[in-house]
Chains A and B, each alone.
Chain A
Amino acid sequence: KAGVTQTPRYLIKTRGQQVTLSCSPISGHRSVSWYQQTPGQGLQFLFEYFSETQRNKGNFPGRFSGRQFSNSRSEMNVSTLELGDSALYLCASSAEPEQFFGPGTRLTVL
């Protein structure tokens, strides 16, 4: 089985722009979770989608949003980018109870 894929792998944006990241889960997995990883804060949970519905949500501002499509692929969107949004964004697909991670998207905000 193919693993979790994330596109793009690297992204450079400027403050105020918006960005969309994509995640394709392992075939058959219906749950997709998103995390933000930074050196200072570690891994922070953004949200989880299951069968196109947001099931769990972390403590992030409304600028961070996501969605899931009928084929379980998921996107997350960050609007009005801030410098502090620079991070590695990880996606994980789940066959409960474990999660399988993609390689991440490295977002740099200038």
Chain B
Amino acid sequence: AQSVTQLGSHVSVSEGALVLLRCNYSSSVPPYLFWYVQYPNQGLQLLLKYTSAATLVKGINGFEAEFKKSETSFHLTKPSAHMSDAAEYFCAVSDNSNQFYFGTGTSLTVIP
């Protein structure tokens, strides 16, 4: 079975600072990789996805992620944090069976 590890269950950054949320996956086949964001009392919203095209993937709200096969990583970054970025972020991996495996989530706090 595949698995996803998100390092750091809580991350705090100052407004305007770099956001870096870490995700590592285990997969024996080229995976599909995703980042989702969840605001309180809402479902998950897709931020971006990697589906074996460009390794640097740009998403919504200024986020991007880079697929590094050698490191089995798919870290999420944003150059400048905004207050509205405060939320829970989930990394997920999927294989050809359409079964998704989610990380445990990282709660992002943005300090004004």
Which B31-89 residues have a C-beta within 8 angstroms of A? 32, 34, 36, 41-46, 49, 51
> A32-54, CB under 8 A of B: which get 1 and which 0?
01010000001101001010000
> B4-38, CB under 8 A of A: which get 1 and which 0?
00000000000000000000000000001010100
Bound Cα distance from A3 to B100, whole angstroms: 19
Residue in chain A with minimal CB distance to B98? A96
Contact of B90 (CB < 8 Å), options: A4, A33, A43, A55:
A43
Q: Most A CB atoms within 10 A — which of B45, B98, B99?
A: B98
**Distance (Å) between the CB of B67 and the closest chain A CB?**
14
What residues on A are CB-neighbors of B105 within 8 Å?
42-43
A62 at the interface (CB under 8 A from B): no
Is the CB–CB distance between B43 and A102 below 8 Å? Answer: yes
Known: A97-B94, A101-B36. A42 touches B46 (CB 8 A): no
Is the CB–CB distance between A42 and B49 below 8 Å? Answer: no
Number of interface residues of B (CB under 8 A): 22
Is the CB–CB distance between A98 and B34 below 8 Å? Answer: yes
Is the CB–CB distance between A45 and B100 below 8 Å? Answer: yes
- Total A-B residue contacts, Cβ distance less than 8 Å: 54
> A96-110, CB under 8 A of B: which get 1 and which 0?
111111111010000
Q: How large is the interface on A (under 10, 10 to 19, 20 to 34, 35 or more residues)?
A: 20 to 34
Residue in chain A with minimal CB distance to B36? A101
A81 at the interface (CB under 8 A from B): no
Is the CB–CB distance between B99 and A45 below 8 Å? Answer: yes
What residues on B are CB-neighbors of A33 within 8 Å?
100
> B93-112, CB under 8 A of A: which get 1 and which 0?
01001111111110000000
Q: Give the A-binding residues of B (Cβ under 8 A).
A: 32, 34, 36, 41-46, 49, 51, 90, 94, 97-105
Which 4 pairs between the two chains have the least Cβ-Cβ distance? A101-B43, A43-B102, A101-B44, A42-B104
